[in-house]
């Protein structure tokens, strides 16, 4: 079955989808993206992704080509046309094709490039990794300072995943000034008993949609939530099993 994708207003078979070589997303990573999960054929936290998309576009002075209702319709059409039950929808908006390469922004009325596609991921809701856990290494965080903008500049996170693979583990946590910022494609937490610790929102980390849901559910479950910096050493210390207390004689 040929996958149907969305490119600049058209639903197309994936082998017919084309973007110009002069597109600024291709030449300069001048674009933003979002990934919305699909469970049971339904979009998860779509509203949060739509708001973060707008925030990223505003930060880069890019116009939003669709309103929220139009974005929602495109997402629903792709879920239906591709028969997605569990999976995700990738959305990307770039500053468009100015017809040549130039560092200066093109005119503001240049049409942006809009691309969406689906990926089917059966078993997404019952991933065994969630129960077994993963192993991580730590690597220096040398990314640019606006990590809160969800740009398509993903080279260093990809390198981080390869560093982890070469080390025989699953992923990597970025560290800066002695503290964990986030994972290569996820926010980082310490969870111990009824306490959850994660870095506070700032330009240092992505404002994760899943992060917001996790912290909301944690508070509803009356867990203690601490939004603050933590180090690798603290994460290791808190993850060790507690020593048994001596029994009274």
Tell me the mean pLDDT in the region 35-39. Answer: 98
Q: How large is the average pLDDT for residues 65-73?
A: 98
Alpha helices in 110-208 (DSSP H): 129-132, 155-166
User: What does the pLDDT read at residue 248?
Assistant: 42
> What superfamily does domain 129-239 belong to in CATH?
D-amino Acid Aminotransferase, subunit A, domain 2 (3.20.10.10)
Beta strand spans in 1-124 (E): 4-7, 10-13, 31-39, 42-43, 87-94, 113-120
Catalytic residue among 51, 150, 161, 165: 150
Encoded tokens for 209: 């949609």
Architecture of the structural domain at 4-121: 2-Layer Sandwich (3.30)
User: Percent of the chain, pLDDT > 90?
Assistant: 90
| Collapsed DSSP state (helix, strand, coil) of residue 154 | coil
Query: Residues 206-249: pLDDT tens digits?
Result: 999 999 999 999 999 999 999 999 999 999 998 776 544 444 43
Q: What is the pLDDT of residue 238?
A: 83
- Please report the pLDDT score of residue 42 as a whole number: 97
pLDDT for the residue numbered 241? 65
pLDDT tens digits, 12-34: 999 999 999 999 999 999 999 99
d(CA 157, CA 178): 19
Question: What pLDDT score does 242 carry?
Answer: 56
Q: Where are the domains of the chain?
A: 4-121, 129-239
Instruction: Give the per-residue pLDDT at 125.
Output: 84
150 is catalytic: yes
């Amino acid at each position: 079955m040929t996958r149907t994708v969305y490119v600049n207003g058209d639903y197309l078979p994936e082998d017919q989808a084309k973007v110009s070589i002069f597109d600024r997303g291709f030449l300069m990573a001048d674009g933003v993206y979002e990934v919305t999960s699909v469970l049971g054929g339904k979009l998860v936290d779509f509203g949060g992704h739509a708001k973060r998309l707008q925030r990223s576009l505003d930060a880069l002075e890019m116009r939003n080509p669709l309103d929220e209702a139009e974005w929602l319709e495109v997402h629903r059409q792709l879920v239906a046309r591709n028969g997605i039950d569990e999976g995700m929808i990738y959305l990307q908006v770039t500053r468009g094709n100015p017809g040549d390469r130039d560092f200066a922004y093109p005119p503001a009325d240049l049409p942006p490039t809009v691309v969406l596609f689906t990926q089917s991921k059966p078993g997404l809701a019952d991933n065994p990794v969630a129960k077994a856990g993963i192993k991580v290494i730590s690597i220096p965080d040398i990314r640019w300072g606006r990590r809160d903008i969800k740009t398509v500049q993903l080279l260093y996170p990809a390198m981080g995943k390869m560093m982890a693979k070469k080390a025989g583990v699953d992923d990597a946590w970025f560290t800066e000034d002695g503290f964990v910022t986030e994972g290569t494609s996820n926010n980082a937490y310490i969870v111990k008993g009824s306490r959850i610790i994660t870095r506070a929102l700032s330009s240092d980390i992505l404002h994760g949609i899943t992060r917001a849901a996790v912290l909301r559910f944690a508070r509803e479950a009356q867990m203690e939530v601490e939004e603050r910096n933590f180090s690798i050493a603290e994460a290791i210390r808190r993850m060790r099993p507690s020593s048994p207390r001596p029994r009274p004689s």
